[in-house]
Each structure stands twice: as C-alpha cells, then as structure tokens.
C-alpha cells in the first residue's frame, strides 16, 4: 500500500502517520524538510545555507532514494505541487506501482489557531505544554521552575499566514487526487481520527 497524507500544520499529521505506519506496516518516508536535516547532504546544505530553495529535481532524487525498493510506504510533505505529483507518478509507474490513497486531515483555520496559540514551551528545559489539553500545574511555570513562553512561530499572524499558504498549495492537490482522496474530520480526538482513517483504508 502506498499512501500520502495531507493536512495543515497543527492538524496532528505526525501522530497519525506513526499510527498508520505501525498498523499497516508501512515505511515512513520523511518530509523533505526532515529528510534534509537527517541526511546532511552537502549539496542540500549549500542551498539551505544560502537561503535558496532546494530544486525539485534534487528533492525528488532524495525522496526516491529513500523510497528505494520499498513496496509499502507513506509520504508526507511530498508532493507539494502538481509538478512534483507528476514526477512521483512517473517514478511509481516505471516500477509498476501506484499511489493508492491520499488522506486529507481536514481541520479549520480557527481550530488550528486555537490549538497552536495555546502551545507553551519551557524556556529552561524545552518541555511542551498546551494551556487547554496539557496545562502546567502552576500558571506560567514549568515543573522544573522555568518560565513558560510562546514560540515566535506559534503566534496567530504567523499561523494564519502558514495556513493560507498551505490552503493555496493543497487545494490544487486535493483536486488532482480527487479519485484517491479520503477526507477525514481532523477535529476529533486523535484515536477517533485514526479509527476513521483505518475504516477507509480497509474498505
């Protein structure tokens, strides 16, 4: 089985991918960003150090190396646009494979903002909190005594900008993949989201 998962930042993709990979025995192919950090490819480093985008051909090469001969895997963060989707399709077709399903975790902008703006991190030990789902025992303080702060990236304006970029990128992919698309209500509890995904995958 070959899967792709799509969802805005803060949709809970990370935990779902791990659960899906474990349950269906799929290799987890890291997103391009994670892959760049993991492999430390010198060519990639040159681009990142100079603030330039890593070219599509190089991204594809690294992702496809990671896929290798694997029969069953799940992709995240690649493809991001139609041109990459076509490149992936060609790669798979040449190997008599195809993308089976595309899972879309649908979460509204307001819900994402609600989730992320409630995140806090300890300025001393780096521990993560959420004021709603995982609040500290003492307001504004970590268990280690450190002060809880909000990450610059977790502010509302930053999230709205990121969400809108995601929406623009993803709308075209959702249309491109409409035959394979599974839309899941990502605003439910993690376990319920996972159950819904499983139900659709075994259909």
Q: How far is CA 135 from CA 19, 33, 130, in A?
A: 25, 30, 5
141 touching Zn ion, by CB under 5 A: no
Q: How many CA atoms lie within 13 A of 101 on its CB side?
A: 16
9 or 146, CB closer to Zn ion? 146
Which segment (135-143, 157-165, 178-186, 189-197) binds Zn ion by CB under 5 A? 135-143
Write phi, then psi, for 128 (nearest 5 degrees).
Answer: -95, 140
Find the shortest distance in angstroms from Cβ 141 to Zn ion.
8
146 touching Zn ion, by CB under 5 A: yes
127 touching Zn ion, by CB under 5 A: yes
Answer yes or no: are the C-beta atoms of 87 and 79 closer than 8 Å.
yes
Residue from 4, 44, 60, 142 touching Zn ion (CB under 5 A): that is 142
Active site residue 37: no
Find the shortest distance in angstroms from Cβ 138 to Zn ion.
12
Beta-strand ranges (E) seen in the chain are 2-6, 27-29, 73-76, 101-106, 119-122, 128-130, 148-149, 181-185
First-residue to last-residue Cα distance in the chain: 13
124 touching Zn ion, by CB under 5 A: yes
Active site residue 127: no
148 touching Zn ion, by CB under 5 A: no
Question: With the C-alpha atoms ordered 21, 22, 28, 33, is the resulting torsion angle positive or negative?
Answer: positive
Among 46, 151, 155, 167, the one annotated catalytic? 151
Q: What does the binding site for Zn ion look like in residue numbers (CB under 5 A)? A: 122, 124-125, 127, 142, 144, 146
Which residues are designated catalytic? 13, 80, 119, 151, 162
């Amino acid at each position: 089985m070959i899967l792709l998962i799509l969802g805005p930042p803060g949709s809970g993709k990370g935990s779902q991918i791990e659960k899906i990979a474990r349950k269906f025995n799929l290799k987890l192919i890291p997103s391009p960003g994670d892959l760049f950090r993991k492999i430390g490819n010198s060519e990639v480093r040159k681009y990142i150090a100079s603030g330039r985008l890593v070219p599509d051909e190089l991204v594809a090469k690294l992702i496809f190396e990671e896929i290798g001969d694997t029969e069953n895997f799940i992709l995240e963060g690649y493809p991001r646009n139609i041109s990459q989707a076509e490149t992936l399709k060609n790669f798979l077709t040449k190997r008599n494979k195809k993308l089976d399903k595309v899972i879309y975790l649908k979460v509204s902008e307001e819900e994402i903002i609600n989730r992320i703006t409630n995140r806090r991190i300890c300025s001393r030990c780096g521990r993560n909190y959420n004021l709603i789902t995982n609040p500290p025992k003492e307001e504004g303080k970590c268990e280690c005594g450190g002060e809880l702060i909000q990450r610059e990236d977790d502010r509302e304006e930053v999230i709205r900008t990121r969400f809108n970029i995601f929406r623009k990128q993803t709308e075209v992919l959702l249309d491109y993949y409409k035959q394979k698309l599974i839309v899941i209500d990502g605003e439910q509890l993690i376990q319920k989201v996972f159950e819904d995904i499983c139900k659709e995958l075994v259909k």
